[in-house]
Amino acid sequence: MSTIDTLFKNLRAKGQKALMPFLTAGDPDLDFTAAAIRALAERDCPLFELGIPYSDPIADGPVIQASYCRALDRGVTLAAIFEMLKGVARQVPAPIVTMVSYAIIYRQGLAEYVARAKAAGAAGAIVPDLPVEEARPLADVCRREDFSLIQLITPTTPPERAVRIAEHTTGFIYYVSVTGITGERTELPPELVDNVARLRERTDLPICIGFGISRPEHVRMLAPVADGLIVGSAMVRRMAEAAERPREQVLAELGDYVDELLAAMR
């Protein structure tokens, strides 16, 4: 089993759920990205999603788009991200998965990207722009390497297509809570819980929900039907403040925010 398979097996055995922070690699810089992963792992976040900056991101809202632009403007490279990851992955027990465009993987070469990411300590990849019809080659490489390939299912995905996506997914399914782009929301769709419950009847894979989750009430609503919850824009917005404020203060505030969400999950 992959490290992510093992993680969710252990969480399920204990009746626990995963809170997964999303952090943009290199915003405001890679040192702070590593510091935030270490700090939030100490707060009991069991899994992390690391966004690989890309000039044409898919489905990301303005907060994450802006963070990608800032990182790219500062010259953050894939090689530098992997070097940072190599150091921090040795220091935290939590698996780290990359959110990465298929264009980056394809340009590197499928086997080469997986080998480099795995050597750096990544446990898997979320590939938002890889359609299921083209997923088989990468899925085969990932299965050989015990490297999780996490794919997205949305509220508009037809049931039979959702099953096909699940068949090419390992680690967990990323369920998109809303149609549209990432970003903090005051409310989530009331039908979301039922949608996830129906998907659970079609697959044994863990299901993690992302997009729009930012408040304790969101966590309380979704934790009963999810294996994990992904918090992105709210984390990235707070991380960006480290460019202009004392970093230790920002880290402390990030930790307090995560504690609030974790408390709502229990």
Q: Which residues are catalytic?
A: 49, 60
* 3-state SS class at 241: helix
Handedness of CA 72, 74, 78, 84 (dihedral sign): negative
- Taking residue 191's Cβ as centre, other Cβ atoms within 10 Å add up to 10
Q: What is the C-alpha separation between 1 and 192, in angstroms, rounded?
A: 30
**Residue 54 near residue 104, CB atoms below 8 Å:** yes
Q: Which segments within the chain are labelled E, that is strand? A: 18-24, 48-51, 96-99, 124-126, 148-150, 152-153, 173-176, 207-210, 228-231
The CB-side HSE value for 212 (13 A sphere, CA atoms) comes to: 18
- Taking residue 142's Cβ as centre, other Cβ atoms within 10 Å add up to 27
What are the residues facing 109 on neighbouring strands? none
